[in-house]
Chain A
Amino acid sequence: MSDKVLVIGGGISGISAAVEAAEAGQESVIIEKNPYLGGRVAQLYKYFPKLCPPYCGLEINFKRIKQNPKVSFYTLSEVQNISGNEGNFTVTVKVNPRYVTEKCTNCGACAEACPAERSNDYNYGMDSTKAVYLPHDLAFPMRYVLDKSACGSDCQACADACPYGAIDLSMEPKTLEIPASSIVLATGWNPYDASKIENLNFGAIPNVVTNVMMERLAAPNGPSKGRIIRPSDGKEVKKIAFAQCAGSRDENNLAYCSAICCMASLKQATYLRDRDPESTAEIFYIDLRAPGKYEDFLRRLQDDENVTLTKGKVAKIEMDQSTGDPVVTVEDILGGGKIKKQFDLVVLASGMEPAGPGANIPLDIPFEEHGFIDPDRLADGIYACGVACRPDDVTTSVQDATGAALATLQTSAKTAATAGGNL
């Protein structure tokens, strides 16, 4: 029997569940498919409503992991098999090769020497990295990784360039069998594919971006080094529009409210407004959802003369051919009629799609109709938390993860009691 909690997903929810359990004395292990921990939060520029950098919160969590011998984690990993039951699971994990060992000092000599490039998924494809790359400035573990699918055949440039011999091109995938008393599903979310929203022309109009891309555009470690410029011509954005419910609350796309997009757009409006007093932002909404204390944040934006909140959904975006400006069509419901407006950049407040159904976890997971996990129907000893279960903000996900951690402790206690009884 093992008394270990296995957490699938190393985003903010998974990290929180593992760390909380570990700090209560429970051994925990995180399985993460990316080469780094932190998930979607690591890709944010600022949190709402405090507008502090998520790196800060992540750093604290990474410190908790480093300081606590009861937490371990595997990056580049995927779950291949789960057997057993509550208190007695065996999880088979495939750990894919990083090709970069602990000797790495992040000197970057490998990337300088590397001749191949790959699209940078950390920046949502808005730039590229070398085939050997550091995922991002605060990557944890802080170590380069090689994407061998981007390499030319027989290329050894990085290995030859590394002064520390940290690159091992012969590294093979490893398979581990991890015994676990309970399992936490923290599979998180993916940004909804905005190109599926037929009338908004994402993909066809370069200056229409999604909200997750906007985070990267505003972030100092993003593709434009924190300058909010538009993709087509690098022009500084002065006039920005946010199209709320882009794909969310839409039977043709995501039928549910993604919960965070209103606050995200309000927050992103400040990215531009805080840098440029001349800039303007217009948010087109059906209803603005700023629950609880978040209403103060909404009020802050309402008080800004250069921020306009317009009731009416953007249901058509075209491109002005001469300027490349996106032109939105909306009905200004509060009396303005059907209007067309031209902007430098349009941000689609596109929603969150649960990553669980696509994560191929070899487990009979009770998904509800939209692909979120129904935690009430999970088998004993298996728990789920965060956006895997419902669209939510970071605060709520962390609280939810803490609840899941408590549940794993209860499983352990129960298992221990049963084992004691059997003796």
Chain B
Amino acid sequence: MCGIAGLIHKGKSSAVGSEMTAMLQALKHRGPDSTGYAVYGTPTEGDFIMRLKVAEAEDRAKGRGVHQLIRDRIAVVEEILKEHGAQVKSKDAATEYALRYVLSMTGDVAAMAEHIEENEGVEILSFGNGLELIKDLGDATVVSEQYGLTGFQGTHAIGHTRMATESDVDIKSAHPYWAFPYNDVSVVHNGQITNYWIMRREMERKGHRFMSNCDSELLAVYTAHNLANGVSLEDSLRNSIQEIDGVFTYLVATKDQLGLAKDTMAAKPLVLYESDDLIAMASEEVAIRAILPEEIDTTDPYDEEVRVWQA
């Protein structure tokens, strides 16, 4: 079933971390397996934020050896950073296996990301100037507190509460997906993609990598492929409705944009609220009401609807 939510403030920063937490907590009943956030802060040119995980939460059940394994993997990652000329400005760890680096670099980001991910169990969750992508098992409040998201200020955010139907309950199958290796692009999706394997093979032939067997990852790869080839976000969303089969409503966020696309059957829900300075959308109205308790006007986007908003 899954729940998705998105919000974008026009021309101002707000506490999008706690706003998105409230929205996703209201959608917990749509998916209790994992929760994910992609929040966008003020971008600093030249500074990149990299979030990565070096183990799955379930790996900790393997025993004491995993701590050493995690330390070894982190050491390898830092070696690679050095090799690619990335200077670590700060390093935080919300959990033992989830790290956040602020890097200063000018080199080829994609080459470095590929190099890092060559290592078993290591996956970059996000990379960009403004994007912070957080996902873990548990409900919205648990994940938000674990990763200290409450005080986060930014312009826009998307989020996801997952009910695993097509693949495992783990971090690599949780949303949002970063559109590897495209800076600052993230995707959340509610639905099932029925031509997943055909499209995945096509994308793999074009040289893209898949980290999970989750069908939603395809949307992130597909979007990255289009953006890399100079297609605008709006056109990418519009083309996806014809090229991707199945039922879906998905949201894509970039450094300064938020877009939505609905499949040709309008089979997956979305409620949309638009005002002059705030646009909020979610699978159910309760999520929007979690941040806007007063009386508001909301609508349901129709089939094949594509919208893009600028921050």
State whether these chains interact: no
- Show the binding face of A for B, using Cβ within 8 Å: none
- Show the binding face of B for A, using Cβ within 8 Å: none
